[in-house]
Structure 1
Amino acid sequence: MIGFIGLGIMGENMAANLLEKGERLVVFNRTKEKAHALMDKGAVWADSPREVGEQADIVFTMLTDPGAVQAVIFGEDGLFSGMKKNGLWVDASTVKPAFTKEMAKAARAHDIRFVDAPVSGSKAPAQQGKLHFLVGGDEKDVKEITPLLEKMGQSIQYMGGNGNGSATKLAVNMLLVQSLTGLSEAVSFGEAVGLDREHLMDVLLALPVTSDIQAGKRDTILNQDFDPQFPLEHAYKDLQQISETAYEAGAPLPMTNSVKELYALAKKNGYGKQDVAAVYALLARD
């Protein structure tokens, strides 16, 4: 039995792929309503993380932030109060590497194995089973979960020990957010000086200065349809974690910190629940 805790935009789709590809699943989410679709497909509901741990040998968590992870693991009826000795916890949440290392240490103290396996990809790749896993942990544990990761993703990048998966995810999201901000700024600049938005967008995307991830946001920006694939408020949270991690490591991030403040402004102006590309709407508004 596989456990899955955290059934948001990403987690629900990841869990659905496990179910559809033959795995028996026990699930928990803070709001039970988000589990109904999975339960209709055969997933077993657990009333607490503890009950997930009691039933599953491997447990995945996909949660919003470190606070949510701590609540699930250490809170009342938390995962560690029920998980079997030598069980395997796989955290796919986007969190700081320092926090990941703390979780690995806590897991060892409870005789639980731990792998950090955050993902690159948003809602559509999660639905399609085409995520990219960025993995840190013991190689034997990674080998054990590889068949499960392959049911949810198209690639598995082993980065070394615990914390390295999380560190890689922050580097990936740093580049992702900067690239979308750059495209948004270029298009809004072009509009301001009188260029046709759609024509400019297509010219930019035809040149080698742009990327596939930017091309994937073409219609989102042109139609200003910011249905969240990756919510802007989550991008802002990740930028804050990147900034804190860089401070701890003594790494200068002049571009990233400027972008972080732009996303803080976007969130303050009501774009937090919209897609990450909604930063364009902030830049382009009158």
Structure 2
Amino acid sequence: MKITFIGLGIMGQAMATNLLKNGTSLTVYNRSIEKAESLRILGATVAESAAKAVADADLVISMLAGPSAVDQMFLSESGILKHMKPHSTWIDCSTVDSEFSRSSATAAQKSGVSFIDAPVAGSKPQAEAAVLSFFVGTTAEGIAPFESLLLQMGQKVIPFGTAGQGSSFKMVVNMLLGQSMVIFSEAIQLGTALNIDTEFLLKTLPKLPVTAPFTALKTDNISNNTYPTHFPLEHMLKDLRLATQAYSSAGKRLAVAETVKAQFEGAAEAGRSRQDFSAIHAYLTS
């Protein structure tokens, strides 16, 4: 089986690296070709164009920045879906909204290609350690031929039955992640304002049962006021927009998510887009 990986950003680099380290033969493509050089050293074939990368692939895995990037790469007039061979499979690990995934599935079906949405839970450290969780929009039987490959990049594969449902769950997860980061930041703000030592707060709050466990991984960022990018703030903003738009399409409003989205928009406008999403703390305290 020929496998192609499209998109070598922070997550894609780590995921493709783990496939290669597990002995999987892999063709890779990224618009910025320099991002593929480390994978070439590990044995990957670096395609000179996206169309050539997918032309004879049995499986194409994509990890792109969001709906617009996936649309441009695969679904647009110049997209590569038309270059994929019939009966091949496209697994999209990008974080997009569920309606977009269903549209991708429809477009793929018209081209004779099978589509599976498979966004992941985890950021750079989890991708590097191959402990991601995959939320797949198909049945257990549908993902079975590819599960061993996904488990080279992660530790869990959760099937949701139908196209788009993996993406739906990812929206829920990332909305909760963004909100929890803001809640943690505001708790630190309040404690500091009440003359509780900041370092004590950073060491103690993540250990309490009321606190999201991931915050323990962000305390060094806050303490040192440095925000190395594991999950870019601009991507969190994109995910919050997807979540609120999906809900508002039903004529409803997610009041807390809308507020949190506005805070991330402010942080992005303040120049923190490329920092880790935990930089929302620095923005809120500036």
Q: TM-score range, shorter-chain basis? A: over 0.9
1:43-62 counterparts in 2 under 5 A? 43-62=44-63
Query: Do 2:72 and 2:78's aligned partners in 1 also have CA atoms closer than 8 Å?
Result: no
**In the superposition, relative to structure 1, how do residues 74 and 203 fare at CA in structure 2: closer, same or farther (>3 Å)?**
closer
SS of corresponding position for 1:137: coil
The alpha-carbon deviation at position 206 of structure 1 amounts to 2.8
Asked if 1:170 is matched to 2:171, the reply is yes
Cα distance in 2 for partners of 1:106, 1:206 equals 46
> What's the counterpart of residue 96 of structure 1?
97
Q: Name the amino acid aligned to 2:69.
A: A
> What's the counterpart of residue 219 of structure 2?
218
The alpha-carbon deviation at position 204 of structure 1 amounts to 1.5
Question: Please, which moves more after superposition, 185-194 or 60-69?
Answer: 185-194
Segments of 5+ residues of structure 1 without an aligned counterpart are none
Q: Name the amino acid aligned to 1:152.
A: M
Query: Do 1:137 and 1:161's aligned partners in 2 also have CA atoms closer than 8 Å?
Result: yes
> What's the counterpart of residue 239 of structure 1?
240
> What's the counterpart of residue 33 of structure 1?
34
Question: Please, which moves more after superposition, 142-151 or 215-224?
Answer: 215-224
Asked if 1:276 is matched to 2:271, the reply is no
Q: Name the amino acid aligned to 2:112.
A: D
Cα distance in 2 for partners of 1:112, 1:281 equals 45
**In the superposition, relative to structure 1, how do residues 75 and 47 fare at CA in structure 2: closer, same or farther (>3 Å)?**
farther
SS of corresponding position for 2:52: helix
> What's the counterpart of residue 15 of structure 2?
14
> What's the counterpart of residue 116 of structure 2?
115
| Percent identical residues | 41
Cα distance in 2 for partners of 1:95, 1:78 equals 17
Query: Do 2:139 and 2:159's aligned partners in 1 also have CA atoms closer than 8 Å?
Result: no
Cα distance in 1 for partners of 2:157, 2:139 equals 14
1:117-156 counterparts in 2 under 5 A? 117-156=118-157
Asked if 1:266 is matched to 2:267, the reply is yes
Question: Per-residue CA shift, 1:133-155, capped at 9, x if unaligned?
Answer: 01102544311110111100011
How many pairs does the alignment contain?
285
RMSD: 1.3
Cα distance in 1 for partners of 2:25, 2:230 equals 27
1:240-259 counterparts in 2 under 5 A? 240-259=241-260
SS of corresponding position for 1:115: strand
Query: Do 1:117 and 1:135's aligned partners in 2 also have CA atoms closer than 8 Å?
Result: yes
Cα distance in 2 for partners of 1:147, 1:74 equals 28
The alpha-carbon deviation at position 36 of structure 1 amounts to 0.4
Question: Please, which moves more after superposition, 45-54 or 82-91?
Answer: 45-54
1:48-87 counterparts in 2 under 5 A? 48-75=49-76, 78-87=79-88
SS of corresponding position for 1:151: helix
Cα distance in 2 for partners of 1:11, 1:216 equals 21
**In the superposition, relative to structure 1, how do residues 76 and 29 fare at CA in structure 2: closer, same or farther (>3 Å)?**
farther
Cα distance in 1 for partners of 2:8, 2:37 equals 10
List structure 1 segments (4+ residues) > 6 angstroms apart after TM superposition.
none
Question: Per-residue CA shift, 1:55-100, capped at 9, x if unaligned?
Answer: 3100001001111111111346632232110100000000010011
Q: TM-score, normalised by structure 2?
A: 0.96
Question: Please, which moves more after superposition, 49-58 or 31-40?
Answer: 49-58
The alpha-carbon deviation at position 166 of structure 1 amounts to 0.2
